[in-house]
Amino acid sequence: MNAPVPRLTSLSNCAGCAAKLRPDLLSELLAGLPNTRDKNALVGFETSDDAAVYRLTKDLAIVETVDFFPPVLDDPFAYGQIAAANAMSDIWAMGGRALFALNLVAFPKELPTSILKEILAGGASKAKEAGIPILGGHSVQSPEPKYGMAVTGVVHPKKVLTNAGGRAGDVLVLTKPIGTGIATTALKRGLASKALIKRVTAQMSALNKAAGEVFASGKFKVNALTDVTGFGLLGHGLEIARGAKLRLVLEAERVPFLTDILALADQGVIPGGTRTNLEHALKGTHFAEGTPDVIKFALADAQTNGGLLAAIPERQLEKALKALEKAGVEAWAVGQLVKGKPGIEVV
């Protein structure tokens, strides 16, 4: 008699982007690496940006990114979709256009290969939706399954959107609700409702292509852009604030949260990565007196394929929101960059 096939999430130590190394540890590790000087290297790891950018000609630069993680859901096809969508997101977060992808696979030899086939099919479906081919990849055996992609794109060297260009007065616009880390932890513990599982699956597998194309369209000014993933809204917000050498005033009441997320957090359903994120964020974040702990954890929640976060001049906010709405993208103005000590003020 064959042994029952385990749930995919039971094989993962951390779900999705919560598997990232801690921000402080990552900074420490990168600080010890040599910084290769190259006049054509427009974006490297120094600014903690979403992807590398390398200029080929005066009119063309390559955008390169890689992302993979352990199962975030038990459904292998949906897991493949989410991992692929998450990997491609970094291209659009730089204002680029995706060209092609390579698969990255780690898979246990004990599991049926039919599961891996479903994971790859999920990734292929998202690549097709994004309009790019998958041209190859690499696979290894591993006790913990992992899947993702290396994605190559292009951008004009003068139109690169980084996380470090924000200006005083810019409004921060977010394109997806927060809470996927808490939701997937609830799923892993058997505490998530069917409605929440359906909603979070749809959100995590949704491409950021439409939002990225709007932000890169040139129809309005975008001074900084990033996507909200493993370091949470606070972590990625800190990157924008520090990159701009400004203070981000984050209005907690304006931040959209997935339904049930705050209640689940209140029950102690909080990923380890989210706890680590909050610990790190506290070094640069001040919360208004009386801010509930559940709000603090939710703002630090480790996201998987979260939305884009853009810094837009206040005078162009209405134009930006209308353009996003026309493209079918939900968006919320959640804060503003102001002069002051680099960091975040949660009000």
Grouping H, G, I as helix, E, B as strand and the rest as coil, residue 109 is coil
- Among candidate residues 14, 17, 98, 329, the one labeled active-site is 17
**Those residues with Cβ within 8 angstroms of residue 131's Cβ, 6 or more apart along the chain or in another chain:** 98
pLDDT at 216: 97
Tokens read off for 159: 């139109």
Instruction: Identify whether 17 is a catalytic site residue.
Output: yes
Q: Across the chain, where does the E strand assignment appear?
A: 41-43, 52-57, 60-69, 97-107, 134-141, 146-155, 170-174, 224-227, 247-250, 285-287, 308-313, 332-338, 343-346
pLDDT at 23: 64
The answer to whether residues 40 and 54 touch, using CB atoms and an 8 Å cutoff, is yes
pLDDT at 15: 55
pLDDT at 1: 41
**pTM for this predicted structure:** 0.90
What domains appear along the chain, each with residue ranges and CATH number? Answer: 8-159 (3.30.1330.10), 170-346 (3.90.650.10)
The pLDDT profile of the chain, 347 residues, written as one tens digit per residue, is 455 667 787 776 665 555 666 666 666 766 667 766 788 988 877 667 778 999 999 999 999 999 999 999 999 999 999 999 999 999 999 999 999 999 999 999 989 999 999 999 999 999 999 999 999 999 999 999 999 999 999 999 999 999 999 999 999 999 999 999 999 999 888 899 999 999 999 999 999 999 999 999 999 999 999 999 999 999 999 999 999 999 999 999 999 999 999 999 999 999 988 999 999 999 999 999 999 999 999 999 999 999 999 999 999 999 999 999 999 999 999 999 999 999 999 99
Tokens read off for 29: 């590790």
Nearest residue to 273 via CA among 307, 226, 225, 234: 234
Grouping H, G, I as helix, E, B as strand and the rest as coil, residue 176 is coil
